[in-house]
Amino acid sequence: MSKASLTRAVEFPAGHRYHRPDWDAARNETAFGKCSGAPGHGHNYRVEVTVRGEIDPETGMVVDLTVLDRLLRELVREPFDHAFLNDQPEFAGGVIPTTENLARVVWGRVSPALPDACSLLRVRVLEDRNLWADYDGSGS
Active-site residues, by number, are 35, 82, 127
Strands, E assignment, 24-102:
41-54, 83-84
Which residues are within 8 A (CB) of 129 and not within 5 positions of it... i.e. 6 or more apart?
Answer: none
Q: What is the bridge-based pairing of β-strands 118-128 and 83-84?
A: unpaired
d(CA 126, CA 26): 28
